[in-house]
Amino acid sequence: MSPQLIITLVILLLVFVALLSGKFTYGIVGAAIVVALMVTNILTPAEALSGFSNTNVVIMFCMMVMSAGLMRTSIINHIVGLVGKVGKSETAMVAGFGIIAAIMAQFMNAFVAVACLLPFITGMCKELNLKRTKVIYPVMVIALTFIFWLPVGQGVAGNFAQPNGYLESYGSTFRFTMFDMTIARLPGCIANTLFAIFVLPKLCPAESSVEARDDMGREVAKSTLKGWQETAAYIISAATIVLMILAGTLKLNVCMLACIGAFLMVLVGVLDTKQAIGAVNWEMVFLFAGVLPLATALTKTGASDVIADGIVTLIGGSTNPWVISIVFVAVSFISTQFLSNTACVQVFTPLVLMVCVRLGMNPIGPIALVNIGCTASYLTPMANPGIPLCMASGGYSLKDCVKIGILPGLLICAVGVVWCSLFFPAFG
């Protein structure tokens, strides 16, 4: 092994440790990667800083601004107003609030979506004399299942821009289309939603195992936009998304469309400059901008081949795509119960991609499976901020969480393996 290869592997190991430990912010880790690659002369300054000008990073930035603009409208209040029309049983409550939470989770974190709905859930359960323990956790499972599922807002960043940035950096010729991740997750989302609506309430305790709190909700902010601004926000969002979906057919640049959409949100006053800048998750931007040149370094030094060969050896030398898919989705699912799902995605996506590139496999399915495994964070309070929120508001014990969350977790992973392996074949 060359000194540069060894140094690159050490940097990668330190990045994994930093991400999984939770002791360092994502922004610090991203900046540290860039500095380390420059100081060790693995990459030139231009190469190390190239992630900040990568079009996929720009798309991520712009879609965060777009999402924040849409959330300043009255869209959530309009959606919540529909839930009373669904029905008045526990099943109806899970279905109604679950679907609403799923829609909201396209524009915000799932736990924030459920936090906004909690006052409505607890209030309607009291009014209708229903058990809140039968409703809250299933709604959270649906919200987590659908988080950033559609190619809108941050879904474009995580499901399109980010994986394509990895594919480009690791030298893969494959690319995600706008709907690939949506299609990959669709059967699991449907299966889990039906399971959460019709089966999960029966697995939930009839009474709170620990003391429940009624003050865990979050008020849904009312829109302060003028009528024409709210209409403009809807039009800008819809037009940008549709044009991005049709970009290939119309020969338009996706990055340009994202920039125009974000710019128009500010231009018409839906967001001011300060709000637009504040809407960006700078931690994720810095992390992604740092990880991309690290991928370049791994490819340039040959470290990616060494890692891929090592992983293949660890799984018994098997090059069977089903085995590789099962191993990575299982490891992702188990890890995300104890670690940040964002960190798990950043760790396991490059690993599975290196294996796929080394074996000449189509990496779309395996990358999607890592995403599916990492978002199935249903079991423990370490898995996702939404779980402790549910525990407090519904009075669930840790034992309850594991009992309720294990089956939907296994279900979505199993459905994902079968579907992705058939719809995105590894070879041919």
Burial class (CB in 10 A: 0-12, 13-18, 19+), 187: middle
pLDDT of residue 89: 84
Q: Rounded to 5 degrees, what are φ and ψ at 69?
A: -65, -45
Residue 279 CA from chain centroid, whole number: 17
pTM of the model: 0.76
Q: pLDDT for 8-54, tens place per residue?
A: 999 989 988 887 777 888 889 999 999 999 999 999 999 999 988 88
pLDDT of residue 144: 94
pLDDT of residue 18: 86
**What string of DSSP letters covers 211-246?**
---S----PPPPP-S-HHHHHHHHHHHHHHHHHHHT
Burial class (CB in 10 A: 0-12, 13-18, 19+), 227: exposed
Tokens in use for 340?
């940040």
Residue 80: count other Cβ atoms within 10 Å of its Cβ. 18
pLDDT of residue 372: 95
Q: Residue 181: which of 365, 353, 402 has the closest Cα?
A: 365
pLDDT of residue 204: 93
pLDDT of residue 242: 86
Q: Answer positive or negative: Cα dihedral of 370, 300, 26, 289.
A: negative
Q: Answer positive or negative: Cα dihedral of 9, 15, 16, 21.
A: positive
pLDDT of residue 83: 65
Distance CA 53, CA 347 (A): 22
Distance CA 205, CA 400 (A): 7
Low-confidence spans in the chain with pLDDT less than 50: none
| Single-letter amino acid code for the residue at 186 | L
Which CB contacts under 8 angstroms, 24+ apart, belong to 320-326?
321/361, 321/365, 321/366, 321/421, 321/425, 321/426, 321/427, 322/417, 322/421, 324/352, 324/355, 324/356, 324/361, 324/366, 325/365, 325/366, 325/369, 325/417, 325/420, 325/421, 326/417
Tokens in use for 327?
């191993």
